[in-house]
Amino acid sequence: MDHTIQYGTAAAGLISILVVYLALRRRRTVRSIPGPASPSWLFGNMLQLYLSPTYGNYEFDWQRIYGPFYRIKGCFGQDRLMISDPVSLQYILNSPHFKFGPTLENAIHLLYGIDSIIGVKEEDHKRIRAALNIGFTAAAVRNYIPVFEKAAHTIMAIASSQSRVQIIADAIGARLPGWLWRAAIYLPTATCKAIRTAKRLADEVGIQVLREKRAAVEQGLDINTDLYGQLLNLHRSDKTKHTLTEAELVAQTAIMMIAGQDTTANTLAFGLVELAKAPEFQDKLRTEILSTLSASGGGSVSYDNMPLLNAFIKESLRMFPAEAVTDRVAVEDVVIPLTDSLITTTGERISHIPVPKGQNMTLAIASYQRLESRWGEDAQEFKPSRWLDGPTFKGEAVGPYANLLSFLGGPRMCLGWRFAIMEMQVFVCELVGKFAFTLPEGDSTRARLATTLLPTTSNGQKGALICAKRVM
């Protein structure tokens, strides 16, 4: 009896030693992954990552030197993994062992709310996703074309502002309990005020849209021509588990407005700058657009059968993903696979990376989409023709569209990806059909801005500047 207890204690002791040993080994492995030196304990490599004069100055160089899986430092000396390896990314995006990193989660809750599709917990996510999905199928999206065609007038570039203060505030915020962070939204700073206004406006818009839809139904009008109409109609005709209540629909408005509009507009704005730099391609694209439009004779346009248009859209999404990076954290100890093995700073060759629970990582989408081993040596060039000349990439396919991760991938991939592509197809046809885009002459600031990914202007705003001249 006594012996059994002693053996039991000894076994328990050995097991805890083993657990601690394995945890330490995982941390040591992460620490031994090569990566750039950190210029500061406070900021780590974060200023280089987020505030370089043109996006990716450091990041794309690091990728060239250390490959698609390396280590950087976050704020306060913590290790972060930078991941652009397609096999690792595919694994992480499809695995239940990762969730949004703390900073990203805070931002999502503030901006979109905890009832939004990306804010809610797992089971609710599946239900809301299934319900919203009805409005995002290929058939449903086709119903929205006339509305897009009418609305295709303005392009708005998101005014996102990163600063030293914001980076450190995010790092501190990530360590605070959620309730305290949510309370911080009431601070009288400009950023908090802007977020409060955006969220309030979104809720107001949601309520207003639903009110209009109900009125339209009462007048016997067809409301199936947009997402809210379709979803409301479903809820009215069939109150089963796959429909959303009106309150739930309103809660999705912020995400539709911000995630669903500014992202597409941003990618497109940068695509148009490239178009301004390539007048020959622009002319060919315009010819394709005008001949397709005239062949349709005012009827439905077959946007999917326009090779130059779709090559241009794919290349814009590849070079200028709306989200250049996103954060994840491991919710338990996990082993991440690699495409090719790497050599640690201790000289070990490893093909799988064991990471401890709580490990923070950056999914480097923009880097992945410029990975030379994947896209070829001209990966840094804007070249729509790559989508026309046969195979575009090497390796296993990822993401829902064109092997791009602009819409992420896995069970939480962007629900609206078909919507976004349709929106871009319609907008590009309208814009390039009617306007010629050129770079402003003799203005070096603008010319420099026009060559960068998410350029930052002197007042901290991101945006692109080009000239448009009416041609039709």
Ligand X SMILES: *[C@@H]1O[C@H](CO)[C@@H](O)[C@H](O)[C@H]1NC(C)=O
> Residue 269 corresponds to which tokens in the numbers above?
């704005």
Q: Which is nearer to ligand X, 359 or 406 (CB)?
A: 359
Q: Which is nearer to ligand X, 177 or 299 (CB)?
A: 177
* CB 333, min distance to ligand X, A: 12
Binding segment toward ligand X, per CB under 6 A, in 2-10, 308-316, 352-360, 411-419: 352-360
Q: Which is nearer to ligand X, 97 or 242 (CB)?
A: 97
When asked if residue 77 is in the footprint of ligand X (CB under 6 A), the reply is no
> Residue 144 corresponds to which tokens in the numbers above?
């929205």
* CB 248, min distance to ligand X, A: 30
* CB 367, min distance to ligand X, A: 20
Binding segment toward ligand X, per CB under 6 A, in 64-72, 181-189, 337-345, 355-363: 355-363
Backbone angles phi, psi at 438, to 5 degrees: -135, 160
When asked if residue 359 is in the footprint of ligand X (CB under 6 A), the reply is yes
When asked if residue 102 is in the footprint of ligand X (CB under 6 A), the reply is yes
When asked if residue 78 is in the footprint of ligand X (CB under 6 A), the reply is yes
* CB 325, min distance to ligand X, A: 15
From CA 107, how far away is CA 173, in angstroms rounded? 10
When asked if residue 358 is in the footprint of ligand X (CB under 6 A), the reply is yes
From CA 132, how far away is CA 136, in angstroms rounded? 7
Q: Which is nearer to ligand X, 84 or 360 (CB)?
A: 360
- Between 158 and 197, how does the x/- string for binding to ligand X read (CB under 6 A)? -------------x--xx----------------------
| Exposure class string for 159-173: b at 16+ Cβ within 10 A, else e | eeebeeeebbebbeb
Binding segment toward ligand X, per CB under 6 A, in 153-161, 181-189, 305-313, 358-366: 358-366
When asked if residue 362 is in the footprint of ligand X (CB under 6 A), the reply is no
The footprint of ligand X on this chain (CB under 6 A) covers a number of residues equal to: 10
* CB 417, min distance to ligand X, A: 29
Q: By the 8 A CB rule, do 326 and 362 touch?
A: yes
Pairing assessment for the beta strands 360-364 and 325-330 based on DSSP bridges: antiparallel
Question: Residue 339 is which amino acid?
Answer: T
- Between 301 and 340, how does the x/- string for binding to ligand X read (CB under 6 A)? ----------------------------x-----------
Q: Which residues here bind ligand X, judged by CB under 6 A?
A: 78-79, 102, 171, 174-175, 329, 358-360
